[in-house]
Structure 1
């Protein structure tokens, strides 16, 4: 049993020889706090055998060794299940035992309200136990605007945990309490209290074991919450590709399909094609997981061809709404007052008239969905269906289309799905927020006389594909009737082909508005995070960020999105957004109204305000809107920029800016914050001019610090360039230091007015190396076949901020070299929430060839973070971690025992 160790520790393995490499110093429990750890085995002062290696009968067996570096600012919970298993842990169960975290820092941990055993593996060979540990304490020096996040991961087959995060300031005053929740959504809080030491308490209120990742981030730090592999869904056997050097007009679909070894091809926009492979191929298997893996391999092969500029799977997008339950509200439109609409309407007598708003969504409610017309009565008078010979307003592909004409057609009606809380009327709800008529029937839209143009891109369960979305945006961008494109959807990485379609629509003068996402993280969500898209976060009835709303790079501003968990405006009802809806019970379509929450509901408020502005100032375009937004003329400040961007949309201020007509020339930066670490010393910044035709001349450059250097393209007296490079000279900062400054670019616009762009810069080089610790690491040599079976296993502990490992008696062959923690003692490493290292790069393991002379000096890096989907070249599918040897596998073979002196 792996947990049955006393003064003598046993490590057993198949044909294993036991080799003592180092003995660690004693770790003692600090008593007197209670809480977690009280049910753990009684501790003593034990050493640890840090490595053991697989024996081999071959005389040709060799050694494999190397070093695993630990990512800067990384820490580990001092009483994980792996520590409790061998009775070697340090208690952190009260505030005076709190572990220190750096800012910006990350810590992995383990908690459980109960003890027990994990489900037995399918082969019946394994038993891994978990232990009770109900709370962990940490401390960190935090300032206003810094953020704290908690992400939780647990195994199937154990009781669902209820994690809780509490934060206390220097006066021991509780400044945040997440409460007990069974939701898997991350817990995220932005500090508002005074600067100083804060205590962070992570606890398990009930339920079984879980891994967690706790992050404290500086207010200007970029996205931090990437401790899980991104795994957006996509359609097996399909891809979206961009070709280079080929005349698409002269390339037929049949020729393109043949050229790229596909069954069929369809052009989405010039040079961008949707491919579908034949059913006879391996990916036609009924095993969706295998089919997706084969699809990714095919996409990578296509992408490697010289004639292909880009290739990606046909990703699936989702509507960005959350189901608040059955608490339907029909009348309380608190959202209108929150953004000052009643007053703004007085300054906007046209109420959006003659402004076309395309809602790219699930389509529109109709009482007769098989034919055009008979729209929701609150929308009927404003609907205009736009159709051309080449394209139609229903872009939903056959894969998830539920209407009577599967695939693209000329009818954007929502076919429903017969479910009581159908997500298919999502588009109707969004449309009502924008353009519900002022007709005394129900709700009133923001721009209640605007022209509503339904475009169907989402089908069953509110999902759609990348190919359909690109085609729809390309179409909408070319229609003269359309002025603004609302995208209450999202869910994949920064696909370049989608970005190109968005940029083309933006350059055609269309404003694109998108939901910032409902994941409660700071990870970018697309399309909202693209530079030419207005990303909208959500607030509740009091203007506070909704609990689910994303923050950071996806948020340009915020708008009412609702929050079913709050009554922030004190009207005795949950803060939901009321809008048009429908039912389709028994195939009978009845119009109605519903209360929903989500950034899907926030985005159409901004689209509607733009329609109000453009109706009074027809020459207004997307570039001018961005200029006004960056200049602070459209919003009111309600909080920090990380959560709220430029602030809460204010319809009165927006109308004032439109009527005054004084459009500023202003410079924006993408990214808006620069972060450097020991692995990146140079970054590129895209300088966006708003309006795009504005002339700007550089009049001054101030880096604030000598260690920050700007590339040669930025020159005083010359026009502002499109891009600049920014570099950090680490030698001028020194080792083991962090630093901050602001890059200021002063520029003069046509009017002679001088302005300044300020970009925060954060440098996190390294912390003291001996403080870094990602927990006990199991280092494995894994087979390269599909089973990924563990062939050799050693154990290493951090010394001086790194791990040293060595395998002895390795038989020559091909292996993957991987390492990671098993904080929850479930017998797997490299799961989401675990520290993980793969040679040579995490997420992209490559086989090593072990020859007659062995291998040494191998280097890899471990971290609780995961690479972005763009860095991986696509999602990582079918990956559940690497398997450790079980008790049975260890015990059924001869072992050697070695006693460790106390």
Structure 2
């Protein structure tokens, strides 16, 4: 999600700067000895910097890489940050200081790529003076991708997976600013199967200020009442969500009125401090923010395209209906979303005509879980109720009926009126968990409402599938508990894999017991926005508005039910949308057809679904696993798989690929069995000569240890291979292959993350920069030394300013914070010198999990103010960061 940040700090006078750099505090106070603080900043392996950044142009040291003949070399696996702009100019003046940017329209790089390698370009145009148009070219066999202005919003991503080559092959990568700018970018090159290679920004998860999710004691048994929980957590009120999980709120003020941007930022900082306190409170086992999430649709098109359901034949759905002629009858699909279009919102009924007869009968069960300011339905108390009608977003045009669209894909009726869903006779449980953010008008929900709804659905015997076309939450333990409960209660949980086009994990899709679904277009090619990597178990039709891959003369949008609330009374409608939100309900509907083919009995369970998925019985192979997971769901294969009886056990590996480095030369490899109740005899294991896999035979599940033999390996080479595990299943000999790679490091002296500005920053809320110096990379590191610094506590940070806008450590720039990026802690300078301090700089950013499960709020870099000295370097006076 996009977040708004504020930049703080006060301008220091030149006299103060002199005082900080000299031997006195200006009032006769003591200072530390000369060389009060010194150390080194290591550069992450594989790091490179564009040779002509705006900072280089400022100093007149830029080395052009504007033509293929001047292409910069990159390591086989690595990361490079750069700068481009079609135009030159100045950033808006700030405190009387002006920063200029240069024109640089094109950068070229040269790299050797192999089959399955991932090349990712992430563009960060925040602060651009004109919207950029970007072209990304990968040249070996003429592949070119292009994104016009505004693609992806604040930032956008191109991904390219190498295919059609044998062995390492030279490729040229070209990045062009065809218009607009300036902007920063990061270009990542990763080996096949690499995880989180594109994690170059802090994960943009949002949460409700003043609220938290907690689990007191052991499974919530430490406190007997809501009042006791509220008292123990310093909260004003507490509400039970099920399975030992409670929602606590400090004060209702955050719901009673809207907050300004500054108030909201302050409230969020206070909330994170409160959550940290809760984690150390006796009797509290779990504490986390009340995360917000969004629907996973992009670019709606409200034209009535319901007669263009290309998605059905793409997954062989018409043939599957012959095998499952009752259309999934007997299966309950809970669509946890925005609710359902109704022509009369005051009633339980008058639903969209393509869904009317499939909606579960009213029974007094709570189906609307949206609470607080996100709840804009007519009920007066902004609380939970029995009517899941979708009120739209109360806009005269383009109201969102996301849940109606998703439900239509899964269970749209075969009534001759409009569209038809995958399982047209399944029972629909429309559960409202997404409301409307009053500020952005986007479909947003909170984790307390979602957790309560999932716990409820897990207990309903007539619900068999839970569809979650939503995402953007942090790695919530409380949500994981709810999902695990549903899975253990034999509910298949299906979730959208996310629309960011990256390999960063998206929750809930990334949970191990959730089916994460990516999106493809009309030619079964991954949609440009669809996430890749660990959030994707398989893919399904999700559409791509920029393509007409099936050449039917229309954009590849998924057509389904919609609503029109610009008239009174509201009217049913149809719309074409794209997104992983649209892909997920295809899988939910296919599972309903599978249950029909299996007799809707105990023969098919969520565990059984994962077993069939891992064996390849449910999908068509359409591309590499990084982009497509197990492949494209095939409806006829899926219903035939359960109709043919039990499937032979299969073996899988976790992780699915092994990557080694200088710092990690040994890893565990767990061999898993599907279904989990079976065991498999392990046969011979073969591996590259530089890898030893300790194997004692026996049966799987089993954990093995793989260790790199570093002797004979050179640091600047990338070595690849495969670990092959032979096993016997039902008398048939099979082979499991696990890709493996190792790169011990770069060629000595080749690492460079750009010119670094090293800062000592005050630890108060203003975070003013008090001392600064500039260092260049030498021998794969930076060396720094501060002399005559006043004793006290400081934050020690460093980073690059490649776009010369006066800020370091922005997304796309290198950053080092002491002791760990993302978790800065004060460093104490006393009367004696402090030497040997070590930091690591990187273009990558830590995940929320690495930061203890708490997001970083309000950080957008450390601010520099330019003052040209004798060496033409920047002099830093202050810093920008919301207090952590």
Counterpart CA distance in 2 for 1:848 and 1:565 is 51
2:776 aligns with 797
Q: 1:71 and 1:811, CA in 2 relative to 1: closer, same or farther beyond 3 A?
A: same
Q: What secondary structure does 1:79 align onto? A: coil
Shift of 1:340: 1.1
- Is residue 109 from structure 1 mapped to residue 82 from structure 2 by the alignment? yes
Counterpart CA distance in 2 for 1:187 and 1:501 is 34
Q: 1:78 and 1:56, CA in 2 relative to 1: closer, same or farther beyond 3 A?
A: farther
Shift of 1:796: 0.5
The equivalent position to 1:175 in structure 2, one of 124, 143, 148, is 143
Aligned length: 838
Shift of 1:764: 3.2
* Greater mean alpha carbon deviation, residues 684-693 or residues 490-499: 684-693
Counterpart CA distance in 1 for 2:486 and 2:681 is 27
1:27 aligns with none
Question: How does 1:619-634 map onto structure 2 within 5 Å?
Answer: 619-634=603-618
Question: How does 1:800-839 map onto structure 2 within 5 Å?
Answer: 800-839=779-818
The equivalent position to 1:671 in structure 2, one of 646, 655, 667, is 655
Counterpart CA distance in 2 for 1:451 and 1:591 is 20
Counterpart CA distance in 1 for 2:554 and 2:842 is 44
2:622 aligns with 638
Counterpart CA distance in 1 for 2:286 and 2:832 is 41
Shift of 1:677: 3.1
User: Any conservation in 1 of the 2:300–2:575 contact (CA below 8 Å)?
Assistant: no
- Is residue 312 from structure 1 mapped to residue 283 from structure 2 by the alignment? no
Q: What secondary structure does 1:418 align onto? A: coil
Question: How does 1:24-35 map onto structure 2 within 5 Å?
Answer: none
* Greater mean alpha carbon deviation, residues 488-497 or residues 592-601: 488-497
Shift of 1:102: 1.2
Shift of 1:247: 5.0
Shift of 1:279: 4.8
2:134 aligns with 163
The equivalent position to 1:82 in structure 2, one of 52, 55, 63, is 55
Runs of 5+ unmatched residues, structure 1: 1-11, 19-51, 896-902
- Is residue 778 from structure 1 mapped to residue 757 from structure 2 by the alignment? yes
Q: 1:587 and 1:224, CA in 2 relative to 1: closer, same or farther beyond 3 A?
A: farther
Compute the TM-score of the two structures, normalised by the length of structure 1: 0.88
* Greater mean alpha carbon deviation, residues 285-294 or residues 109-118: 285-294
Runs of 5+ unmatched residues, structure 2: 1-12, 437-441, 876-884
* Greater mean alpha carbon deviation, residues 801-810 or residues 695-704: 695-704
- Is residue 398 from structure 1 mapped to residue 372 from structure 2 by the alignment? yes
Q: What secondary structure does 2:786 align onto? A: strand
Shift of 1:468: 1.4
1:31 aligns with none
1:126 aligns with 97
Counterpart CA distance in 2 for 1:872 and 1:808 is 32
The equivalent position to 2:543 in structure 1, one of 549, 562, 576, is 562
Q: 1:77 and 1:456, CA in 2 relative to 1: closer, same or farther beyond 3 A?
A: same
Q: What secondary structure does 1:624 align onto? A: helix
1:29 aligns with none
- Is residue 430 from structure 1 mapped to residue 410 from structure 2 by the alignment? no
Shift of 1:361: 0.7
Counterpart CA distance in 1 for 2:22 and 2:648 is 70
Q: 1:385 and 1:862, CA in 2 relative to 1: closer, same or farther beyond 3 A?
A: farther
Q: What secondary structure does 2:430 align onto? A: strand
Counterpart CA distance in 2 for 1:399 and 1:669 is 45
1:418 aligns with 394
* Greater mean alpha carbon deviation, residues 183-192 or residues 206-215: 183-192
* Greater mean alpha carbon deviation, residues 539-548 or residues 668-677: 668-677
CA offsets 1:32-54 (integer angstroms, 9 cap, x no match): xxxxxxxxxxxxxxxxxxxx966
Q: What secondary structure does 1:438 align onto? A: coil
1:40 aligns with none
- Is residue 135 from structure 1 mapped to residue 106 from structure 2 by the alignment? yes
Q: 1:352 and 1:96, CA in 2 relative to 1: closer, same or farther beyond 3 A?
A: same
- Is residue 354 from structure 1 mapped to residue 330 from structure 2 by the alignment? yes
1:194 aligns with 165
User: Any conservation in 2 of the 1:698–1:715 contact (CA below 8 Å)?
Assistant: no
Q: 1:501 and 1:730, CA in 2 relative to 1: closer, same or farther beyond 3 A?
A: farther
User: Any conservation in 1 of the 2:123–2:184 contact (CA below 8 Å)?
Assistant: yes
Shift of 1:377: 0.8
Q: What secondary structure does 1:110 align onto? A: strand
Q: 1:440 and 1:126, CA in 2 relative to 1: closer, same or farther beyond 3 A?
A: same
Shift of 1:702: 4.6
Counterpart CA distance in 1 for 2:399 and 2:668 is 40
Counterpart CA distance in 2 for 1:283 and 1:810 is 48
1:147 aligns with 118
Shift of 1:685: 5.6
* Greater mean alpha carbon deviation, residues 736-745 or residues 64-73: 736-745
* Greater mean alpha carbon deviation, residues 658-667 or residues 849-858: 658-667
CA offsets 1:831-867 (integer angstroms, 9 cap, x no match): 1111000011000011011000121111000000000
Counterpart CA distance in 2 for 1:446 and 1:462 is 24
CA offsets 1:420-471 (integer angstroms, 9 cap, x no match): 5546410100111111111101111111111111111111132111111111
* Greater mean alpha carbon deviation, residues 865-874 or residues 148-157: 148-157
User: Any conservation in 2 of the 1:709–1:729 contact (CA below 8 Å)?
Assistant: no
Counterpart CA distance in 1 for 2:143 and 2:219 is 60
Counterpart CA distance in 2 for 1:282 and 1:575 is 40
Shift of 1:743: 4.0
Q: 1:736 and 1:92, CA in 2 relative to 1: closer, same or farther beyond 3 A?
A: closer
- Is residue 690 from structure 1 mapped to residue 659 from structure 2 by the alignment? no
The equivalent position to 2:820 in structure 1, one of 838, 841, 845, is 841
Compute the TM-score of the two structures, normalised by the length of structure 2: 0.90
Counterpart CA distance in 1 for 2:482 and 2:171 is 46
Counterpart CA distance in 2 for 1:368 and 1:292 is 38
Counterpart CA distance in 1 for 2:399 and 2:645 is 40
CA offsets 1:71-94 (integer angstroms, 9 cap, x no match): 000000001011110101211110
Shift of 1:767: 1.1
CA offsets 1:196-217 (integer angstroms, 9 cap, x no match): 1111111111112111111112
Counterpart CA distance in 2 for 1:298 and 1:727 is 43
1:342 aligns with 318
Counterpart CA distance in 2 for 1:150 and 1:310 is 37
Counterpart CA distance in 2 for 1:158 and 1:206 is 11
The equivalent position to 1:881 in structure 2, one of 861, 866, 869, is 861
Counterpart CA distance in 2 for 1:157 and 1:168 is 28
* Greater mean alpha carbon deviation, residues 645-654 or residues 284-293: 284-293
The equivalent position to 1:653 in structure 2, one of 637, 644, 664, is 637
Q: What secondary structure does 1:770 align onto? A: coil
Q: What secondary structure does 2:452 align onto? A: helix
Q: 1:539 and 1:705, CA in 2 relative to 1: closer, same or farther beyond 3 A?
A: same
Shift of 1:748: 4.8
CA offsets 1:676-719 (integer angstroms, 9 cap, x no match): 33444555566554323223454555554564455xxx753255
Q: What secondary structure does 2:119 align onto? A: strand
Shift of 1:61: 3.3
Shift of 1:759: 3.0
Q: What secondary structure does 2:484 align onto? A: helix
Question: How does 1:846-885 map onto structure 2 within 5 Å?
Answer: 846-873=825-852, 874-885=854-865
1:225 aligns with 198
CA offsets 1:365-400 (integer angstroms, 9 cap, x no match): 111122211111111111105756xx6221112230
Shift of 1:740: 3.3
Counterpart CA distance in 2 for 1:186 and 1:70 is 24
Q: What secondary structure does 1:786 align onto? A: coil
Shift of 1:289: 0.6
1:32 aligns with none
2:588 aligns with 607
2:468 aligns with 487
Counterpart CA distance in 1 for 2:147 and 2:393 is 35
Q: What secondary structure does 2:189 align onto? A: strand
Q: What secondary structure does 1:186 align onto? A: strand
User: Any conservation in 2 of the 1:385–1:454 contact (CA below 8 Å)?
Assistant: no
Counterpart CA distance in 1 for 2:54 and 2:664 is 34
Shift of 1:148: 1.4
* Greater mean alpha carbon deviation, residues 178-187 or residues 828-837: 178-187
Q: 1:454 and 1:281, CA in 2 relative to 1: closer, same or farther beyond 3 A?
A: closer
